[in-house]
């Protein structure tokens, strides 16, 4: 498949300024940029969809530029329902480094150029910004943006001038990358297309040139109906420190049959014939969950590597088939590399909350009272101190290790 065919087949096609997708196949200038907000030290699986689209462009000969917004990250991409918390500079810097490392692994390109908009905004005079950028936009244009309407309309929470200006700052980013690196294509999630259009407008207005944006649809959780992302409260993180590799793998293997086909195309590197064969087997033997297993393995390999994927598959087999009470401390410690971790000597309720097996101590108490919690295979009905290496299990398929 060429690039346009693969983008359409995988579902990486939403709003765009490009009239015919085949233009991408022979585009003279093959440079694009994608921006990430450093509001956390990890991307989520919502971001991963756009990152996989970027990887698709890279496989077809495009050079990637990753903009991790040290400047915009201090303001926050406006939400529909309220202001974001401002991040300290040190935290933004740490988050940038973590996101850059994740992105390099996903796109698999030695030519990835990482840029930070703080570098060109830190010394910019405010009056200069107003004269060059502010004068290029009318208030009518800005007030028509959907996120502004949501915030200032009836029942809205209002919006600060800082967040209102976010789209101008992101627009200038595109202008700067066009001027300095010749980048004339921005990739984004569908929710960012409006901000992308600000950059296209500036490039046309100030440079008399044409630039484009290509967006991918937001991925919706088929169970909850909410988008995959940290602002939705249902985040699955790429960092194993935030979402254990075991929990990451289990998230994908528990996807419903109705969603697995489009998730396979978006989140794995499997090609069309492989996906077709997997789906054929799924139809013939749905009880074997062939598609879910292929999805979980494929996306875990992309994010955590082949060795980690193979290890967590083997771990899953052991956790679901072996008698946990028979495992030695050494065996548990070996298994624990890929599980959420609690501290030995802590109270059980604290461990349940820390490892994500319970959302609060109140829920932890309810779970233990209901007999849903075991420690090394033995049901526990109260808040005890866990003073040994142990596997803690909630229900049928949620695990953590205490070390």
What is the pTM for the complete model shown? Answer: 0.88
Residue 242: the pLDDT is 93
Nearest to 293 by CA among 316, 276, 271: 316
> Of the ranges 146-150, 194-198, 262-266, 378-382, which one carries the lowest mean pLDDT score?
146-150
What whole-number distance in Å separates Cα of residue 43 and Cα of residue 39? 9
Confirm if 56 and 306 have CB atoms less than 8 A apart: no
Q: How far is CA 327 from CA 163, 308, 334, 342, in A?
A: 53, 21, 11, 18
Residue 158: the pLDDT is 78
Q: Say what angle helices 290-304 and 257-267 make with each other, to 10 degrees.
A: 30
Residue with tokens 């201090």: 74
Q: How confident is the model at residue 77 (pLDDT cuts 50, 70, 90)?
A: low
Mean pLDDT of 337-348: 93
What whole-number distance in Å separates Cα of residue 388 and Cα of residue 390? 6
Mean pLDDT of 220-224: 75
Confirm if 99 and 116 have CB atoms less than 8 A apart: no
Mean pLDDT, the chain, whole residue set: 90
Residue 179: the pLDDT is 97
Confirm if 163 and 84 have CB atoms less than 8 A apart: yes
Token pair, residue 278, equals 């997997």
Query: What are the φ/ψ torsions at residue 396 (nearest 5 degrees)?
Result: -95, -25
What whole-number distance in Å separates Cα of residue 317 and Cα of residue 340? 17
Percent over 90 (pLDDT), the chain: 67
Strands 378-379 and 390-394: unpaired
Residue 81 confidence (pLDDT) above 60: no
Q: Say what angle helices 290-304 and 272-284 make with each other, to 10 degrees.
A: 140
Residue 233 confidence (pLDDT) above 90: no
Residue 231: the pLDDT is 52
Token pair, residue 365, equals 């108490």
- H-only helix segments in 108-218: 118-121, 126-132, 139-143, 146-152, 161-164, 166-181, 193-207
What whole-number distance in Å separates Cα of residue 248 and Cα of residue 226? 18
Q: What is the pLDDT of residues 238-256, one digit of tens each?
A: 999 999 999 999 999 999 9
Q: What is the pLDDT of residues 136-188, one digit of tens each?
A: 888 877 777 666 777 777 767 777 777 778 888 889 999 999 999 999 999 99
3-state secondary structure of 35: strand
What whole-number distance in Å separates Cα of residue 148 and Cα of residue 156? 9
Mean pLDDT of 352-358: 94
Residue 334 confidence (pLDDT) above 90: no
């Amino acid at each position: 498949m060429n690039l346009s065919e693969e983008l359409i087949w995988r579902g990486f096609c939403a709003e765009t300024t490009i009239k015919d997708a085949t233009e991408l196949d022979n585009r003279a200038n093959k440079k694009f940029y994608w921006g990430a907000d450093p509001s956390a030290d990890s991307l989520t699986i919502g971001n991963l969809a756009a990152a996989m689209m970027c990887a698709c462009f890279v496989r077809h000969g495009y050079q990637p530029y990753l903009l991790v917004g040290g400047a915009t990250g201090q303001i926050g991409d406006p939400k529909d329902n309220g202001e974001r918390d401002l991040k300290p500079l040190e935290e933004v810097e740490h988050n940038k480094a973590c996101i850059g490392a994740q992105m390099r692994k996903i796109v698999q390109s030695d030519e990835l150029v990482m840029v930070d908009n703080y570098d060109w905004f830190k010394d910019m005079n405010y009056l200069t910004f107003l004269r060059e950028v502010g004068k290029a936009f009318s208030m009518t244009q800005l007030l028509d943006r959907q996120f502004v309407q949501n915030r200032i309309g009836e029942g809205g929470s209002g919006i600060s001038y800082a967040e209102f200006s976010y789209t101008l700052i992101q627009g200038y980013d595109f202008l700067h990358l066009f001027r300095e690196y010749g980048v004339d294509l921005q990739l984004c999630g569908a929710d960012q297309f409006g901000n992308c259009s600000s950059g296209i407008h500036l490039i046309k207005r100030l440079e008399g040139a044409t630039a484009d944006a290509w967006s991918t649809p937001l991925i919706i959780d088929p169970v909850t109906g909410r988008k995959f992302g940290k602002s939705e409260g249902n985040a699955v993180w790429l960092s194993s420190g935030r979402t254990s590799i075991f929990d990451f793998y289990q998230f994908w293997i528990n996807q419903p049959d109705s969603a697995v086909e489009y998730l396979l195309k978006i989140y794995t590197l499997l090609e069309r014939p492989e996906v077709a064969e997997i789906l054929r087997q799924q139809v013939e033997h749905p009880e074997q969950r062939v598609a879910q297993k292929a999805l979980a393995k494929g996306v875990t390999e992309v994010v955590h590597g082949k060795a980690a994927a193979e290890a967590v598959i083997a771990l899953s087999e052991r956790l679901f088939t072996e008698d946990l009470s028979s495992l030695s401390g050494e065996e548990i410690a070996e298994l624990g590399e890929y599980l959420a971790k609690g501290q030995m000597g802590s109270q059980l309720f604290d461990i349940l909350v820390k490892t994500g097996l319970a959302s609060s101590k109140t829920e932890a108490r309810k779970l233990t009272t209901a007999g849903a919690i075991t420690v090394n295979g033995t049901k526990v009905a109260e808040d005890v101190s866990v003073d040994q290496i142990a596997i803690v299990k909630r229900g049928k398929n949620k695990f953590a290790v205490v070390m």
